[in-house]
Amino acid sequence: MIIRLPENYFYTARGPNNYAYASNGTLYIEGYVNFEHLMYNLSYTLNGYGRCYYCGCILTRSNRTLDHIHPRSWGGISLPDNLVPCCKSCNNEKTDMTPEQYEKFKKIHKSDKQQAFYQQCLKENRDFMKSRKFLVPEDWVTMYDASQLIEALSFRFLEMSKMKKLEDYFKTVKQYPHPIVVSSNGWLFKGKHILYHARKIHRPVVPAIVLENVKVIMNSS
């Protein structure tokens, strides 16, 4: 996947040797940069802060947020291609509906019918996930051999509560709740619990979003 990038982009994280920058269509990340924060900053840089993507209202510091167009619940990842500025009201109302479902939801004017439609959407989305797919564009995801993948954090920092939820989810759905996210040079950005589980059950090939125009360079500091 090639993510959208602004021109002349530079982002600094905590510490002088931790930053990211765009050059010739590639995003370079040097040192230790929080991936989620970086993707949020990229989204605001690309889309601005001005108006809500859904209702068009003017955004302020108090009502401004970012929405995952393709919801996290169904495999959506924090990427500039999946994040849009949004008011808190629309974000709370859309919850984990897809964009198409939310458009239909907004055309329903009675609250009881809205709730019934929302529950129907949840059921449809859960059933779709059981088909071992995600509710994101198909060309974003590929099957990836993660056996030699570089972990951004040591496995000793795994959260056992998250690990248990992941194992229970996998037993039920036979799939992971979202793809892992990796750089073009094999650096893991998201999915260390998935990576650990995949190695534990000896299934190194997992669904992944490979960011073809993102490269990590670890400095020596």
pLDDT digits (tens, 9 = 90+) for 100-118: 999 999 999 999 999 999 9
- Per 3-state DSSP, the chain is made up of helix, strand and coil in percentages (nearest 5) of 35, 20, 40
Q: Are 4 and 39 in contact (CB under 8 A)?
A: no
Distance separating alpha carbons of residues 65 and 108, to the nearest angstrom: 24
With CA atoms as reference, report the closest residue to 25 among 50, 53, 6.
6
Q: What is the mean pLDDT of the chain?
A: 92
Burial of 56: CB neighbours in 10 Å, binned 0-12, 13-18, 19+? exposed
Cα atoms found within 13 Å of the Cα of residue 218, Cβ hemisphere only: 9
pLDDT at 85 over 80: yes
The model's pTM is 0.90
pLDDT at 221 over 60: no
Distance separating alpha carbons of residues 37 and 81, to the nearest angstrom: 15
- Which stretches within the chain are classed as H helix? 35-47, 88-94, 99-106, 111-129, 160-173, 192-200
Burial of 50: CB neighbours in 10 Å, binned 0-12, 13-18, 19+? exposed
pLDDT band at 86 (very low <50, low <70, confident <90, very high): very high
Which domains are assigned to the chain?
Answer: 34-129 (1.10.30), 138-211 (3.90.1530.10)
Q: What is the mean pLDDT of residues 81-92?
A: 96
- pLDDT: which is higher, 8 or 71: 71
- Output phi, psi for 161, to 5 deg: -65, -40
Percent of the chain with pLDDT over 70: 95
Q: pLDDT tens across 44-59, in order?
A: 999 988 999 999 999 9
With CA atoms as reference, report the closest residue to 29 among 17, 15, 41.
17
Q: pLDDT tens across 153-207, in order?
A: 556 678 889 999 999 999 998 899 999 999 999 999 999 999 989 989 999 899 9
